[in-house]
């Protein structure tokens, strides 16, 4: 490396043409408690500064205008552009906005969360440090029974007796923490000692993600098919970013989160008014849910068989 070449590079420092403000209102962090020991903290945002009178949404418009030209400049037109971009899945401008969070959650939630590969993560090391004496311990009301409709899910509360039995079982499992620390005191390595701890033990990480990939995470994890515990975290993240990129968040709800995707067979069923042309029970059930959500009448054949 020729350091002279680098030393000779001239950097032009351009002053802003307008006044800027801190989108986090000058706060060091924005923090929300989740469950008994968990939390989501917004640590930083990119952009951190926005022109006075605008929100961090401006960074999406700024990036998009590279491809669409300076053109329109009014706030209402900026909003229209953001909504157009999201509707048409022109996603790269949304990658220009980033958020960094500090998240504290039980290991069983972290396992679901880490499947989202498009974030940058740095997790607490249980090889380097002792795991905290903190476990996710739901209240009796939050103990759900196995859903019969959804093999992966739970639904309304379980009977009190069984819920209490489950909570006693968690007490016993959590008591193993004492054995963990005793064995560490006797010289057991932390990297092995941790393997006896339950997945309800808390871990933490820094998690940085751009807005496009965050919307993908939120679409999946704010959805009712997601486990309630991770959904609580996803909803918290949404509440934290909504103040910073309100226009993009509104467009996300309108065009992504609360939109319905229709398959070719479903479109045919709407056009014909007949039952969906499939023998697959699950597909038929999914269509039935969408049909009700859309407020569409029952298919013709079904009406006939019911009146016969
Ligand atoms: C309700 C629910 C139930 C689930 N159940 C299970 C389960 O039972 N078992 C299980 O294992 N998982 C399960 N998952 C996890 C799921 O399969 C996904 O791994 C997770 O939701 C992350 O989604 P993603 O890959 O789209 O996200 P990301 O990893 O954030 O990726 C975003 C997008 O980037 C692209 N991408 C990223 N990395 C790659 C790559 N290496 N190759 C190709 N494309 C890539 C893909 O288009 C992907 O959609 C479940 C998820 C949900 C929401």
Cα–Cα distance, 216 to 222 (Å, whole number): 10
pLDDT at res. 4: 87
* pLDDT of 219 strictly over 70: yes
Matching residue, tokens 């500064």: 49
Predicted confidence (pLDDT) at residue 104 exceeds the cutoff of 80: yes
Question: What would the two tokens of residue 46 be?
Answer: 């990119």
DSSP letter, residue 95: G
Quote the strand ranges of the chain, DSSP E: 20-22, 30-34, 38-46, 49-51, 98-106, 120-123, 144-146, 154-157, 202-210
- Cα 152 to ligand 1 centroid, rounded to whole Å: 16
Pairing of strands 30-34, 120-123: unpaired
Mean pLDDT, to the nearest integer, of 183-211? 96
Statement: residue 307 has pLDDT above 60 = no
* CATH architecture of the region 20-123+202-257: 2-Layer Sandwich (3.30)
Please tell me the predicted confidence (pLDDT) of residue 281: 93
| Residue 242 reports pLDDT greater than 90 | yes
**Taking CB atoms and a 6 Å cutoff, what residues make up the pocket around ligand 1?**
115-118, 152, 213, 216, 220, 225-226
pLDDT score for 195: 95
Q: Which atom of ligand 1 is nearest to the CA of 213?
A: 30
Mean pLDDT of the chain: 92
What is the CA(113)–ligand 1 centre distance, in A? 10
pLDDT band at 209 (very low <50, low <70, confident <90, very high): very high
Residue 108 pLDDT level (bands cut at 50, 70, 90): very high
To test the ligand 1 pocket, which listed residue (117, 150, 228) has its Cβ within 8 A of the most ligand atoms?
Answer: 117
Most ligand 1 atoms within 8 A of CB, residue of 115, 211, 223, 230 to mutate: 115
Domain residue ranges in the chain: 20-123+202-257, 140-196, 264-307
Question: Does 89 have pLDDT greater than 80?
Answer: yes
Indicate if the pLDDT at residue 176 is higher than 80.
yes
Q: Which of 2-6, 74-78, 169-173, 304-308 is the least confident region?
A: 304-308
Pick from 280, 278, 20: nearest CA to 299: 278
d(CA 60, CA 78): 9
> Would you say residue 263 has pLDDT above 60?
yes
The values of phi and psi at residue 157, to 5°, are -55, 150
- Among 46-55, 115-124, 236-245, 299-308, whose mean pLDDT is lowest? 299-308
Res 150 pLDDT > 70:
no
Name the residues annotated as catalytic.
Answer: 221
Is the pLDDT confidence value at 308 over 60? no
Question: Has residue 305 got a pLDDT over 90?
Answer: no
Q: Residue 151: its pLDDT value, please? A: 64
Nearest CA to ligand 1 atom 2: 226
CA atoms of 28 and 34, how far apart (whole Å): 19
What is the pLDDT averaged over residues 122-131? 87
Look at 300 and 172; give whichever has higher pLDDT: 172
Task: For residue 247, give every residue at least 6 positions away whose Cβ sits within 8 Å of its Cβ, in sequence order, or none.
Answer: 55, 57, 78, 79, 82, 83
The pLDDT, as a whole number, for residue 277 is: 96
User: Taking a C-beta distance cutoff of 8 angstroms, is the pair 138, 108 a contact?
Assistant: no
120-136: buried (b, 16+ CB within 10 Å) or exposed (e) per residue?
Answer: eeeeeebeeeebeebbb
23-44 confidence digits (pLDDT tens):
999 999 999 999 999 999 999 9
Task: Determine which residue's CA is closest to atom 3 belonging to ligand 1.
Answer: 226
Residue 71 has pLDDT above 60, yes or no: no
Residue length of the chain: 308
């Amino acid at each position: 490396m020729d350091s002279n070449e680098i030393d000779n590079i001239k950097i032009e420092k351009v002053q802003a043409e307008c006044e800027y403000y801190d989108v986090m209102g000058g706060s060091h962090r924005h923090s929300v408690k989740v469950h008994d020991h968990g939390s989501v903290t917004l640590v930083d945002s990119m952009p951190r500064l926005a022109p006075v009178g605008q929100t961090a949404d401006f960074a999406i418009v700024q990036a998009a205008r590279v491809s669409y030209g300076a053109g329109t400049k009014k706030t209402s037109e900026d909003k229209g552009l953001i909504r157009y971009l999201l509707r048409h899945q022109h996603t790269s401008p949304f990658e220009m906005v980033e958020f960094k969070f500090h998240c504290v959650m039980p290991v069983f939630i972290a396992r679901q969360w880490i499947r989202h590969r498009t974030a940058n993560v740095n997790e607490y090391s249980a090889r380097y440090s002792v795991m905290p004496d903190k476990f996710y311990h739901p209240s009796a009301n939050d103990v759900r029974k196995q859903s019969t409709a959804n093999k992966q899910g739970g639904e309304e509360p379980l009977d009190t007796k069984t819920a209490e039995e489950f909570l006693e079982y968690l007490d016993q499992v959590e008591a193993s923490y004492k054995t963990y620390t005793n064995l560490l005191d006797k010289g057991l390595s932390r990297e092995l000692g941790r393997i006896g701890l339950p997945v309800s033990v808390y871990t933490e990480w820094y998690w940085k993600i751009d807005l496009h990939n965050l919307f993908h995470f939120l679409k999946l994890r704010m959805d009712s098919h997601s486990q309630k515990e991770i959904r609580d975290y996803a909803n918290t993240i949404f509440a934290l970013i909504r103040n910073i990129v309100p226009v993009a968040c509104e467009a996300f709800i309108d065009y992504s989160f609360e939109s319905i995707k229709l398959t070719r067979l479903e479109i045919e069923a709407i056009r014909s008014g007949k039952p969906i042309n499939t023998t697959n029970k699950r597909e038929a059930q999914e269509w039935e849910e969408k049909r009700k959500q859309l407020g569409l009448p029952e298919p013709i054949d079904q009406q006939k068989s019911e009146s016969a």
